[in-house]
Amino acid sequence: MGVIDFLKNVGASIFGKGEDEATSLTNLINTTLPGQITNLRVEFNKGVVDLYGQADTIAAKEKAVLLAGNIKGVEKVNDVYLTAPEAKPEDETVYYEVKPGDSLSKIAKHFYGNAMKYPVIFEANREVIKDPNLIYPGQKLRIPKII
């Protein structure tokens, strides 16, 4: 994937709770994706996150990127050093940036032609979205292909 841009001033606030940014992000990823990334190392410098390690799946890698990027204060995530098995064409994911007025059903209608397919998007982003009714503009989501 490379370097992925995010909106720096939106997202969850986890920084400033007694840990440095890299430690906070490492703990978030390890807690949310337990055992899915080995040798995880996170570096944070002026809004840019570099992720290192080995993800078990391409989905785990994508979720780690979204977890890091959807944090207030993060502007870019570089995943070049985070390895994962190569994605099969049917597993390729599209990223979508939530716009004002969006809902998961509206996004599902756009990508799948059926608003009732919103649970597919919710499940693909469960680590980032806790409630399917609560998404925010600027948040990036994984939109998996439906075969």
Q: Which residue, among 114, 4, 10, has the nearest Cα to 64 in the 3D structure?
A: 4
Measured between alpha carbons, how far is 102 from 115 in angstroms, rounded to an integer? Answer: 12
Q: Are 72 and 108 in a shared domain?
A: no
Q: Are 77 and 137 in a shared domain?
A: no
Q: Are 67 and 95 in a shared domain?
A: no
Q: Are 46 and 74 in a shared domain?
A: yes
Q: At residue 1, what is the residue type?
A: M
Q: Are 118 and 78 in a shared domain?
A: no
Q: Are 78 and 105 in a shared domain?
A: no
pTM over 0.75: yes
3-state secondary structure of 81: strand
Measured between alpha carbons, how far is 114 from 12 in angstroms, rounded to an integer? Answer: 29
pLDDT tens for each residue of 31-40: 999 999 999 9
Q: Are 107 and 130 in a shared domain?
A: yes
Structural domain span for residue 120? 89-144
Measured between alpha carbons, how far is 116 from 112 in angstroms, rounded to an integer? Answer: 9
Q: Are 69 and 120 in a shared domain?
A: no
pLDDT tens series, the chain, 147 aa? 678 888 888 777 888 777 889 999 999 999 999 999 999 999 999 999 999 999 999 989 999 999 999 999 999 999 999 999 987 766 677 899 999 999 999 999 999 999 999 999 999 999 889 899 999 999 999 998 886
